[in-house]
Chains A and B, each alone.
Chain A
């Protein structure tokens, strides 16, 4: 092991294993997770060439292989528990990308939720066994987040009892669905249902797209891959165009709404379950943000302990770059953020499961808040993580730009999270809608509960949005609780400002919607402040549950750093709202520097506690053993450009360049 890393690990003030147990939930979970990871690591089928040296087509091939054999492997290993499946997939799949994944995550669940018993009988078994491969086609080239805008039509023809599917415009071509380009032979297509000359809105249809046996697109179907992307090379995101393509009436999923053979439309009863899926996916994404950021921090911090550069004092040997204050200031707040998001992610998962049980018993009361919270937190954590991964990459200097660092890959794999499953700004505005509703309730004299209950403290008759006297005078910058309080006040204030500005615009504009648009910048700010408060609150509450003293001490420092760094970045909000004074802000900045020094000796142990396997990190710079440079050189030698000693282009262009000129 690299000497620097060895020293770092020996000097740590706590046992990282205990912290790993906290992150996993229990020592037993850690044990079982490692057991599963080792099963995969020791499996020869898992091996493949370094993806960085493969073409896109080859990467896709590797992913299909893994994806296609996964069901079998899991059966072999006896893995069935959802949590265990997740551990398995994270280790087994490349970048968590699974070309046949939408078959399991969207096709089958939609079939179960919206298909009749007969329909389930017909398709469920073969899709579960991957004898048919399904995907889910919703997004169109010209339409994303706004579902009602989708243009694909399914027109019922009572004579043949068929639906005629059409992509009437270029913008209506289905675009982006994963696994659609090359892998799937069936798709659940969302289309505007038209029967008896009337449009009934979006419905789901099972559409065969490729011929069984030859895998060729069926007549009337144009299907293919949408081309290269920033990342997700392993995924065949696809397009689908349908021209008067006929499917039998039975292919419309009819558990809720129905079209009778004569074309009569029967309305659905209720449809709250899809709401639940969205909430699940988004709360899952919060956890993924935490994981991606944790990986990036692991790489950047380990490398910063191995890398030596420049000098702090002239004449002395080059120090580890982790000893530079600027490097600590770049990385440690991000490390603190990674821990904050780990706890937010865990909270979201628990809450989802708890509320899901309530829903099962018919209690939907908590769903609106959960829905609003997941939307905002998905946006808040993914935006922060997106910028933070980039910051980690740049903190590795030039080598961070090479694929050997693994950081470009983590970045490009994570970044679509900001735009998929609900574009972030739209998500923030959904949370804002809930905040405004809660604010109105408080004004109408009702109490609100849950994470927004702080709004109950608003004096209802206040005219000025910022009255100094209301806030407590002193914030204790060494108390997570007091800091949480400060964040709460900031959220209260920004929610109130957004609400007042909205009311103001409503008075001046003709319509509420125009007013909403003209206040949307304020509304997004309010949502961000709300989410930031939630993150701070969850982190400080988590501290109470940590039993081991040394782990508690180090997490407490991280929690303080997370809180204080946020205040320093948003000092304007805290000053303008008179939540903190100038001298308090000065103290905050001073305290941050002290915390950097306090965290420094534990930095490597803190990233070790995330317990990532080297293969999961995919990084030469972030290796556990710290033997960076030797491996960097070995890695580069495998580059495709090094396959021949003299490159072909020399004979083609370089030699003639000398003679022809």
Chain B
């Protein structure tokens, strides 16, 4: 779908990203650890202290929620670790936690920001509400002095679950900064910041998505008037999906084929005014509108745009890397590689800003609900059991919880890598870019895939109530599912990672041949490809599988084998006469598999590395280690065939993995609620009748249902259709 379908890019750019990078997380928590020690003497004081913190413990101010439901309260009695410490670790420091809560209290105490009626709104109403919220947020930000890229904005976005309009502004600005000349940046940035114009970003077309070169929109230079004529030559060239464009935007950045002096010069970006700044009507030659209802993202007016020979001044082509001179001469000014970089930044932003929190919320809702919901009894004489006590329920939910943590740490370490490469890239040192690109592509694909699976699993684990929008879960599912196709379709992204793997593997092979003079080491994330590998897993009993080094090695082994296999397949097909491209298409299924294994290995590795840095928090380290173990072992069991295939694991060892895995479920059970509390989502932000902190599920469900328009408005179907039916009976009486 292209960058244009950003769900509302978290305002984080590197200024924000830096503060939540992993190293900083760990150094800043030193302070909060001392803070935490004060509480260690008494569990109840600790509880009190947490309950005392603002907003997030007050369940929406409803009268029935003054008391926490005993079934969830009891889950919080014994705390094997300090929840607040874990919250701080996730936030990247106690000061971030404090700031986040401050922003949340501002947002949630203001009724204008309420998300309460969201589930009852039509597409149109949700769009209007999102515009109104954005308007209100800007007013408040101005008053409080929050700058556009501040952490405050980032947290406000989180508190509002992204239900804001005009988020494409950021994508526009990002592209402007990376593709525009200094003069262009100076001209357009303030207009954007002051909302003198409302900007959007238009790349994807009706008939063309991931393949940029296939885009059909044209921008032909007319030297006579020094203008570009921007035109949609076919129906399939209609821009389709760009956010904020359907109803809101006044300007949009159009990606089009540049034609000058009769030659096609490929894709370039043009600023095109599309609506009047006076009365907001479409400008001449512009056909623009909303693309209609979607699964979700009702708050964003994704649009279509047809341009009929629309003329724009020469200066509206972004010209950092290429320029068209007044006479129509095309001048290349540099490499376009930084274009890739902005893609990378957008993808990494999405992970923590949009995708991963959706799975985290789903886990919070499903797990909290599972200690309130009782169903059947385990022994006939017992009262009905909490459904979280069923092994099958644990097996559904805990791997998702583990994944939610694994991805948080994975995204954080990717962010750290991005941050450390950022300055180099700005100084035109692109040596890290291929690795960064491959990592961000694969991790985005894996994260969105597994977050979708997990979120949907959590929804189904809530039984019938998970089907109600009031549970909050359908919205989470329909949002996360979009992330599997936007910003690069996942299959395409995995294959980009695979290309990187194959290329580097072949290079490493060439180096390994005797007499090779090339001595370049492999990028750090794939260094494991050349380390000596065990043919058999040394584990002898279930407990052996609880060693991070052991399962990390196991994953490295499988990833290496699959990458080798994929290269081998590719070479075999080529030896039989196919050229590289044909051979590639014939072997993509195995490349996909290899890329997936590689990404999973990376995620296991980043989780174990995070654990190593938590030595000063032994209790937190212990509880997270269980999740890490579960994550890695669940992965092995799900892909058991890959581990058994070459005999790396024996059948007996897979059985041992299963034993270790089932034992972990039991251990995690007692910490499950605290682990969901540690994500520290406010009730307002969760917006779920099933998942509130206080556990008053059923009262809330009942009260929320009353607010449905189907109950507050009259029923026209009765008057029109039911009454005539029923009256035929009355006449008989």
Bound Cα distance A593, B470 (Å) = 44
Which residue in chain A gives the minimum CB-CB distance to B64?
Answer: A170
Interface residues of A in 632-661 (CB under 8 A from B): 632-633, 635-642, 645-650, 652-658, 660-661
Kindly state whether residue A280 has any CB partner on chain B within 8 Å.
no
B254-293 vs A, Cβ < 8 Å mask (1 yes, 0 no): 0000000000000000000000000111100000011111
B292–A635 contact, CB under 8 A? Answer: yes
| In the complex, chain A residues whose CB is within 8 Å of the CB of B588 | 324-326, 329
**Could you say which of B131, B645, B698, B723 contacts A649, with CB atoms under 8 Å apart?**
B131
Kindly state whether residue B647 has any CB partner on chain A within 8 Å.
yes
B380–A513 contact, CB under 8 A? Answer: yes
Give the distance to chain A from B601, nearest Cβ to Cβ, in Å: 18
Bound Cα distance A236, B204 (Å) = 39
A224–B474 contact, CB under 8 A? Answer: no
| In the complex, chain A residues whose CB is within 8 Å of the CB of B375 | 143-146, 149
A402–B651 contact, CB under 8 A? Answer: no
B681-712 vs A, Cβ < 8 Å mask (1 yes, 0 no): 00000000000000000110110111111110
Bound Cα distance A229, B128 (Å) = 22
A178-190 vs B, Cβ < 8 Å mask (1 yes, 0 no): 0001110100000
A647–B641 contact, CB under 8 A? Answer: no
| In the complex, chain B residues whose CB is within 8 Å of the CB of A176 | 464
**Could you say which of B123, B586, B642 contacts A593, with CB atoms under 8 Å apart?**
B586
| In the complex, chain B residues whose CB is within 8 Å of the CB of A183 | 717, 722
**Could you say which of A57, A212, A660 contacts B716, with CB atoms under 8 Å apart?**
A57
Give the distance to chain A from B84, nearest Cβ to Cβ, in Å: 32
Kindly state whether residue B8 has any CB partner on chain A within 8 Å.
no
Give the distance to chain B from A525, nearest Cβ to Cβ, in Å: 10
Give the distance to chain A from B240, nearest Cβ to Cβ, in Å: 8
| In the complex, chain B residues whose CB is within 8 Å of the CB of A638 | 292
Q: Is the interface of B mostly helix, strand, loop or mixed?
A: helix
Give the distance to chain B from A503, nearest Cβ to Cβ, in Å: 16
Which residue in chain B gives the minimum CB-CB distance to A170?
Answer: B698
| In the complex, chain B residues whose CB is within 8 Å of the CB of A386 | 456, 460
**Could you say which of B490, B495, B730 contacts A212, with CB atoms under 8 Å apart?**
B730
Interface residues of B in 648-662 (CB under 8 A from A): 651, 654, 662
Kindly state whether residue B5 has any CB partner on chain A within 8 Å.
yes
Give the distance to chain B from A568, nearest Cβ to Cβ, in Å: 8
Q: How large is the interface on B (under 10, 10 to 19, 20 to 34, 35 or more residues)?
A: 35 or more
Which residue in chain B gives the minimum CB-CB distance to A227?
Answer: B708
Which residue in chain A gives the minimum CB-CB distance to B589?
Answer: A329
B717–A182 contact, CB under 8 A? Answer: yes
A182–B710 contact, CB under 8 A? Answer: yes
**Could you say which of A53, A146, A224, A228 contacts B384, with CB atoms under 8 Å apart?**
A146
Bound Cα distance A640, B127 (Å) = 11
Of A2-10, A293-301, A570-578, the segment with at least 4 beta carbons within 8 Å of chain B is A570-578
**Could you say which of A182, A309, A642 contacts B210, with CB atoms under 8 Å apart?**
A309
B290–A645 contact, CB under 8 A? Answer: no
Of B318-326, B411-419, B481-489, the segment with at least 4 beta carbons within 8 Å of chain A is B481-489
Most chain A Cβ neighbours within 10 Å, of B138, B378, B389, B725? B725
Bound Cα distance A638, B132 (Å) = 24
| In the complex, chain B residues whose CB is within 8 Å of the CB of A181 | 710-711
Q: Is the interface of A mostly helix, strand, loop or mixed?
A: helix
A572–B644 contact, CB under 8 A? Answer: yes
Kindly state whether residue B147 has any CB partner on chain A within 8 Å.
no
A571–B705 contact, CB under 8 A? Answer: no
Kindly state whether residue A415 has any CB partner on chain B within 8 Å.
yes
Kindly state whether residue A139 has any CB partner on chain B within 8 Å.
yes
Kindly state whether residue B507 has any CB partner on chain A within 8 Å.
no
Kindly state whether residue A308 has any CB partner on chain B within 8 Å.
yes
| In the complex, chain A residues whose CB is within 8 Å of the CB of B725 | 68, 130-131, 133
A318–B579 contact, CB under 8 A? Answer: no
Give the distance to chain B from A388, nearest Cβ to Cβ, in Å: 13
A654–B280 contact, CB under 8 A? Answer: yes
Kindly state whether residue B339 has any CB partner on chain A within 8 Å.
no
Kindly state whether residue B172 has any CB partner on chain A within 8 Å.
no
Bound Cα distance A403, B279 (Å) = 31
**Could you say which of A401, A582, A633, A637 contacts B481, with CB atoms under 8 Å apart?**
A401
Kindly state whether residue B643 has any CB partner on chain A within 8 Å.
yes
A56–B710 contact, CB under 8 A? Answer: yes
Bound Cα distance A13, B204 (Å) = 36
Which residue in chain A gives the minimum CB-CB distance to B650?
Answer: A576
Kindly state whether residue A44 has any CB partner on chain B within 8 Å.
no
B291–A402 contact, CB under 8 A? Answer: yes
A87-102 vs B, Cβ < 8 Å mask (1 yes, 0 no): 0000000000001000
B710–A650 contact, CB under 8 A? Answer: no
Most chain A Cβ neighbours within 10 Å, of B204, B463, B469, B723? B463
Given contacts A227-B468, A638-B292, A647-B247, contact A56 B138 (CB under 8 A): no
Of B75-83, B390-398, B513-521, the segment with at least 4 beta carbons within 8 Å of chain A is B390-398
Give the distance to chain B from A167, nearest Cβ to Cβ, in Å: 11
Most chain A Cβ neighbours within 10 Å, of B135, B210, B373, B641? B641
A641–B720 contact, CB under 8 A? Answer: no
A609-624 vs B, Cβ < 8 Å mask (1 yes, 0 no): 0000000000000000
A324–B721 contact, CB under 8 A? Answer: no
Interface residues of A in 56-110 (CB under 8 A from B): 56-57, 60-61, 64-65, 68-69, 99
A657–B293 contact, CB under 8 A? Answer: no
Of B9-17, B190-198, B605-613, the segment with at least 4 beta carbons within 8 Å of chain A is B190-198
| In the complex, chain A residues whose CB is within 8 Å of the CB of B246 | 641-642
Kindly state whether residue B252 has any CB partner on chain A within 8 Å.
no
Give the distance to chain A from B511, nearest Cβ to Cβ, in Å: 28
A649–B128 contact, CB under 8 A? Answer: yes
Bound Cα distance A531, B169 (Å) = 52
Most chain A Cβ neighbours within 10 Å, of B246, B295, B586? B295
Interface residues of B in 366-388 (CB under 8 A from A): 373-380, 384
| In the complex, chain A residues whose CB is within 8 Å of the CB of B374 | 142, 149
Bound Cα distance A327, B495 (Å) = 13
Given contacts A313-B581, A397-B1, A521-B662, contact A653 B292 (CB under 8 A): no
A to B CB contacts below 8 Å, 22 in the list: A64-B721, A131-B725, A145-B463, A170-B699, A224-B708, A225-B711, A228-B708, A229-B474, A310-B211, A310-B492, A312-B582, A394-B489, A402-B291, A403-B293, A408-B295, A420-B464, A466-B651, A521-B662, A572-B654, A576-B654, A629-B236, A648-B128
User: Interface of B with A (CB < 8 Å)?
Assistant: 1, 5, 119-120, 122-124, 127-128, 131-132, 134-135, 138-139, 142, 194-196, 198, 204, 206-211, 214, 235-236, 238, 240-241, 246-248, 279-282, 289-295, 301, 304, 373-380, 384, 389-393, 395-396, 452, 456, 460, 463-464, 466-470, 474, 477-478, 481-482, 484-486, 489-492, 495, 579, 581-582, 585-590, 592, 637, 639-647, 651, 654, 662, 698-699, 701-702, 704-711, 713, 715-718, 720-723, 725-730, 732
Closest 9 A/B residue pairs (Cβ): A571-B641, A572-B640, A131-B729, A641-B290, A639-B292, A225-B710, A230-B474, A227-B708, A310-B211
